Homo-oligomer: A and B are copies of this chain.
Amino acid sequence: MKTELKTAGEYSAQIANAIREAIITGKLTVDARLPSESDLAETFGVSRPTVREALKRLAAQNLIRTQRGAAGGAFVNRVSFEEVQNSLVTSSTLLLSMNAIDFETACEARYALERACLPLAAERRLPTHLAAMRAEIARQGTDGLDDQAFCASDVAFHRALVEAAGNPILSLHLAGAVEAMQPLMNMVTFRTRSRERIIALHRRIADAIDGRDAGAAEAALLELASYTAQLGGKAREQRAAARG
């Protein structure tokens, strides 16, 4: 661990970077204990509050956890898929809302990514995945389901589809993209006829995955993509009309 810091301010950022680098390069391994805050303060030649600010930065990225008490301290975290996925969802959500990403772009990305999973899903799907997909299809047909619940079930369906591909890295990216899109999806209203069509397409996808027919699944997903984009376009027109 480096002991010298540049003269320019922002010590806490420099210390956080130094420790982060040590973790990334493997100098600090999982569950390793960092020196105590006082020791770090002495090592880097700064005060304890400054060290603490640095540690909080790392904690915010889930790189370390802290424990109080005699054998406590800061420990290197094992970065989990779930944590990365959560922070990806948060970041992506903000990215979409702050940068005025249009529905088409987000939709296109989502279905393109999903399409990438289909061949693998068709090959590896297990009964649990098929059951999860069919359960969501059934829920989507329930009477009195509001738009938000329909959307949530839609997300769950696609999540099961992605899980069927059996690749955790793909799941991570897909879940990030799909969940981040939910605020946009929630602005779309799903009439009964729209729902029926979506459910029919979901059923075609599930059947195709069941029958290990990746090509049929891709065809149905493409239809779903263009229909969803169409619904999004309609929703935007209606909002524009309401404003004008």
Determine the distance from Cα of A57 to Cα of B23 in the docked complex, in whole angstroms. Answer: 18
User: B105 near A167 (CB under 8 angstroms)?
Assistant: yes
Contact flag A58-B60 (CB < 8 Å), given A84-B91, A167-B108, A173-B177: yes
**At the interface, yes or no: A205 with Cβ under 8 Å from chain B?**
no
Give complex CA distance A91, B78 in Å: 11
Q: Given A53-B52, A81-B95, decide whether A169 and B87 contact each other with a Cβ distance below 8 A.
A: no
Q: Which B residues are CB-close (under 8 A) to A176? A: 173
- Whole-angstrom CA separation of A243 from B82 in the bound complex: 33
In the complex, are the beta carbons of A169 and B177 less than 8 A apart?
Answer: yes
Contact with B along A143-175 (1 / 0, CB 8 A): 000000000000000000000010111101100
Q: Is the CB of B57 within 8 A of A105?
A: no
Question: Considering the chains assembled together, what is the distance between the CA atoms of A56 and B53 in angstroms?
Answer: 6
Contact (A105, B169) CB under 8 Å given A79-B91, A81-B95:
yes
Candidates B49, B58, B60, B173; contact of A173 at CB < 8 Å: B173
Which A residues, 1 to 46, have Cβ-Cβ distances below 8 Å to chain B?
12, 16, 20, 23-24, 26, 30
Answer whether residue A61 sits at the interface, using C-beta atoms and an 8 A cutoff: yes
Which residues from chain B contact A119 at a C-beta distance below 8 Å? 112
**Considering the chains assembled together, what is the distance between the CA atoms of A68 and B57 in angstroms?**
19
Of the residues B59, B79, B168, contact of A105 by C-beta under 8 Å: B168
**Nearest-CB distance from A9 to chain B (Å)?**
8
Contact present for A24 and B94 (CB under 8 Å): yes
Contact of A84 among B95, B113, B167 (CB under 8 A): B95
- State how many angstroms separate the Cβ of A40 from the closest Cβ of chain B: 15
Expressed in whole angstroms, the minimum distance between the Cβ of A231 and any Cβ of chain B is 19
A60 to B16, CA, bound (A): 9
* A residues at B contact (CB < 8 Å): 12, 16, 20, 23-24, 26, 30, 49, 52-54, 56-61, 63, 78-81, 84, 87-88, 90-95, 97-99, 101, 105-106, 108-109, 112-113, 115-117, 119-120, 165, 167-170, 172-173, 176-177
Nearest 5 A-B pairs (CB), nearest first?
A109-B169, A57-B60, A116-B116, A112-B116, A60-B60
